[in-house]
């Protein structure tokens, strides 16, 4: 099963467009886990157990693990998902983008070392930087397009040949880079007008949509502007709003309730 098939299956199985970002910071973990050698791994496992019926994907951000010397916790967490929630795909958020020979090793890292189903990449260096990922036909490649951060427009809004850079990225993916039908776009919830514009440009591509929850993206606009004609097509990521729903012993239960609440809110607008 390809990533896109697995993702669409999970969306339908759990009636969900929610992605949980597994971005644990050691200093934010509940007191009941503080001081444990495997605290991050246990945190993730309990979150997965509590949320797996309400999500269509998980998205660990690799920097949280590398920066805390917890690479093995990342690998183990992905393995736990594959064993205990095998129908839910894993998107490894690394935003890689380098020359071809280096990109080949980054692709091996994501897909062979960590076993991720999909990866985020940066298209700034062109096809050289993304082709080694795209060549894994059964894996997903989610390309930064119009991102949710406040200063994304510094470059993404620059106009070339009469169109903003983010539109050029979307058209490249739509027309040339999606040769294995495994490409998707990152489009932030914090820019709903651009989300609507990009859905018009790319009516069938899947969008990973960060920026709801802590970043303040409007859920109703995300659904109405972002969904494809079949009311699928968007993977709505929430990290802090779910994984830190409680800092007490009930953190996993609270995360499950937060994931279900977001799923139901999204579905109310579908």
Which residues are known catalytic residues?
A: 95
Half-sphere exposure of 31 (CA within 13 A, CB side): 2
Q: How far apart are the first and last CA of the chain?
A: 26
CA gyration radius, the chain: 18
Structure tokens at 48: 């997965």
C-alpha triplet 164, 229, 4: angle, nearest 5°: 80
Q: Is the CB of residue 80 less than 8 Å from the CB of residue 102? A: no
Q: Is the CB of residue 58 less than 8 Å from the CB of residue 81? A: yes
Q: 40-52 burial, b for 16+ CB within 10 Å, e for fewer?
A: bbbbbbbbbebbb
Provide the 10 A C-beta neighbour count for residue 133.
26
Backbone angles phi, psi at 235, to 5 degrees: -115, 105
């Amino acid at each position: 099963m390809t990533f896109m098939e697995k993702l669409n299956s999970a969306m339908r199985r759990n009636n969900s467009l929610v992605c949980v970002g597994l971005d644990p910071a050691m200093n934010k973990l509940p007191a009941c886990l503080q001081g444990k050698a495997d605290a991050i791994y246990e945190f993730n496992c309990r979150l997965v157990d509590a949320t797996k019926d309400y999500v269509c994907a998980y998205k660990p951000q690799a920097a949280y693990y590398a920066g805390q010397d917890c690479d093995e916790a990342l690998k183990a967490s992905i393995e736990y998902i594959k064993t205990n929630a095998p129908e839910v795909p894993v998107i490894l958020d690394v935003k890689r983008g380098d020359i071809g020979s280096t990109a080949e090793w980054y692709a091996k890292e994501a897909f062979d070392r960590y076993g991720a189903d999909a990866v985020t990449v940066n298209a700034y260096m062109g096809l050289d930087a993304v082709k080694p990922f795209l060549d894994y036909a059964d894996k997903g490649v989610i390309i930064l397009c119009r991102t949710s951060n406040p200063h994304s427009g510094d470059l993404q809004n620059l106009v070339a040949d009469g169109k903003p850079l983010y539109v050029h990225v979307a058209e490249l993916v739509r027309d040339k880079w999606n040769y294995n039908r495994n490409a998707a776009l990152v489009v932030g919830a914090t820019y709903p007008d651009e989300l609507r514009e990009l859905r018009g440009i790319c009516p069938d591509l899947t969008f990973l949509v960060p920026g709801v929850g802590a970043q303040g993206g409007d859920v109703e606009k995300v659904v109405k502007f972002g969904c494809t004609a079949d009311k699928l097509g968007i993977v709505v990521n929430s990290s802090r709003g779910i994984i830190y729903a409680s800092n007490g012993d009930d953190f996993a239960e609270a995360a499950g309730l937060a994931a279900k609440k977001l799923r139901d809110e999204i579905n109310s607008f579908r």
